[in-house]
Amino acid sequence: MFKKILIANRGEIACRVIRTAKELGIQTVAVYSEADAEAQHVKQADEAICIGRAPASESYLQIERIIEAALLTGAEAVHPGYGFLSENDDFALACQQNGIEFIGPPVEAIRAMGLKATSKALMEKAGVPLTPGYHGKNQEPNFLKQQADAIGYPVLIKASAGGGGKGMRLVERSEDFLSSLTSCKSEARSSFGNEDVLIERYVTRPRHIEVQVFGDKHGNYVHLFERDCSVQRRHQKVLEEAPAPLMPEEKLEAMRQAAIDAARAVNYVGAGTVEFIVEQDGTAYFMEMNTRLQVEHPVTEMITGQDLVEWQLRVAYGEPLPKAQADLSIQGHALEARIYAEDPDNGFLPSIGKIHFLQYPQQNAHVRVDSGIIQGDSISSFYDPMIAKLIVWGKTRQDALRQMQHALQNFYIQGVGNNVAFLHRLVGTGSFSQPNLDTGLIERENIQLFSSKPEIKPSLLAQAAVLHLLQQTLKHSLPHDPWQQPNFWRLNQQAKTHVQLRHQQEIYDIELAILKQGYLVKVHNQDFKISGELTASNTAHLQIDNHQHKLCFVKCDSSLVLFEQAQPYEFEIIDPYAHVEGEAEEAGNLKAPMPGIITQVLVEQFAQVKKDEPLMTLEAMKIEYTIRAPQDGIINNLFFQSGDQVAAGDELLDFCIEAEASA
């Protein structure tokens, strides 16, 4: 076995590889950018080498620097993880030329599967079923339109070199084809440097199912069953599960065999995933092959009991596959939820900043958390905003669903926006729990997922007020003061007091009366008797009337966050003695909502603009955000130009409302 490997990645997947390497007694080398100097994968590795500045293009995508780091440290092999250079044939070739084992497929296999059109031609030759469409080299617009007309609408135009949901256009009418083609080719050229497209019949209500395959250097191939990845937003996966529910067994067997045929067709070695678009009746069509380990590989590990990273290392070293097909079986059901720093209610816009509080659910044989983030770490604008992956297992799908809901209720994050509450709602939808799966599930459940705002219960307000008082008492008490213990019994306090809390612009006045044991709290003419104790710095065991339960909370300066049913509730504590200062900022100063790079400046100084007119575009973590005029007005000054890096809160321009300008 290898003595030392280098991991050409960061974050969660780097930590994941390090964990298995340590179990096998393999030394690890991490590479990192200047922004990741204090990252967890750097701290967990045996050695670490800085390879450049924060942008991935200047660090994690620098092939020469990574090769130099491997040679310098004596690493015998490189694990590419997923993303970055994991499917880059030039990187695999560079490893090969420098006598370093690439823990992945051969260069030729990466190249063969790298372009959608090329891979589909190969699969067609191998007898793997394809979506009806055109995958040829003729890119003349009128010819492509003829092909689309023959296929029948709706059709999907897809960039041959595309990925990540970019370079795709749905066309529902023949008369719209040419304009959609022009737009798609332009995006493909800009994003991938290749404007070639393919055309496929659009499958209505498709499922996205993928098969995990493995090959070794001795010509052996197995599949480790399938994963359903239908639940997506912006063509990016949100929930994954294994095995795929409600699929006819004969259809699954056909997919599994097709996946092995696909791997054998390109002499594949290592871990690979063959992805299929699946009709509601289970008919499957080859979509693409990902020549790497997938983000969602843990659900396969949970149902098979196999460590896929260990398999990768053994196969790369030249060992045969650890198990034959007959030795592999499905045990139970597994789900994975991707925990992101993002705002689901605002188009899943990334949330940047420091994580002030982070508490994972308790891990056991049924619950697993894969992460490269701990409390105190920051989410950067330079990389993917994933905080963790939450993976659960149950004997049945219903058992796994119950585990997932419970785990999400005990997953606490404060400091950055996140999707934990959204995921909890998503898992509870009828479409997912039934299940009724397709890639449009999130849009179909829009009302339940986005339109319903969580209700502020009077009991929650009562708890928030009591916790605030308790925190204040403990803050001003002496160490080991017998009269100031965290059990809600108080001496020499006022018999009655008031606490004011603000939540989403509404102010609540809460009255509290001191009892021998606890408080009598009045909220909206409702009375609550509350007692209990603090069991940890962020946990309280409370008795409300005759109901006992555990509550997680975070206290920050002038705010208090309570977590209930996966939903965070933030309350601002109003100081009645504080002088109200002018907090309103000049309406004309527009600030960056997140760190990023200015990609376009669409106006000039002194330009007159209309309300909602685009002024600038800002890009961070593959997401483009448009800065728009809040009112009709004039641009007094521009503080940045295209290509400039900005921080969250930076003033981008000086904007004067039209009425003020004419005054």
Residue 368's contacts (CB-CB under 8 Å, 6 or more residues apart) are 298, 302, 390, 391, 392, 393
Contact 276, 255 (CB under 8 A): yes
For the chain, what is the total number of helices (H) and then of strands (E)?
A: 18, 39
- What token pair was written down for 186? 């332009």
Triad 159, 165, 168: Cα angle to 5°: 40
Task: Return the percent helix, strand and coil in the chain, to nearest 5.
Answer: 30, 35, 40
> Pick from 259, 261, 299, 260: which is nearest to 278 by CA?
259
Q: How many CA atoms lie within 13 A of 422 on its CB side?
A: 25
Buried b (16+ CB within 10 A) or exposed e, 454-475: eebebbbbbbbbbbbbbbebee
Measuring CA to CA, which residue among 290, 121, 285 is closest to residue 203?
285
Please report which residue ranges of 24-75 form alpha helices under DSSP H: 40-44, 63-73
Yes or no: say if 432 and 414 are a contact pair by the CB < 8 Å rule.
no
Q: Which amino acid is at 268?
A: Y
Catalytic hit among 207, 292, 314, 338: 292
Distance separating the N- and C-terminal Cα atoms of the chain: 78
Residue closest to 430 by CA, chosen among 409, 449, 407: 449
Q: How many CA atoms lie within 13 A of 149 on its CB side?
A: 10
Strands 342-343 and 357-359: unpaired
Q: How far apart are CA 493 and CA 519, in angstroms?
A: 11
292 is catalytic: yes
Q: Which helix (H) or strand (E) holds 184?
A: helix 177-192
> What letters, b where the CB count within 10 A reaches 16 and e where it falls short, cover 566-580?
bbbbbbbbeeeeeee
Cα(663)–Cα(661) distance, rounded to whole angstroms?
Answer: 6
Reference 184, options 165, 197, 172; nearest CA is: 197
In three-state form (DSSP H/G/I as H, E/B as E, the rest C), the secondary structure along 319-355 is CCCCCCHHHCCCCCEEEEEEEECEEHHHCCEECCEEC
Buried b (16+ CB within 10 A) or exposed e, 541-555: ebbbeeeeeebbbbb
Distance between CA atoms of residues 630 and 650, nearest Å: 17
> 271: left (phi > 0), else alpha (psi -120 to 50), else beta?
beta
Q: Within a 10 A sphere around the Cβ of 606, how many other Cβ atoms?
A: 11
Which segments within 341-462 are labelled E, that is strand? 342-343, 349-350, 353-354, 357-359, 367-371, 378-379, 386-394, 412-414
What size, in residues, is the chain?
Answer: 663
Question: Quick one: 347 exposed, middle or buried, by C-beta within 10 A (0-12, 13-18, 19+)?
Answer: exposed
Decide: 269 and 219 in contact? Cβ < 8 Å.
Answer: no
Which residues are identified as catalytic? 292
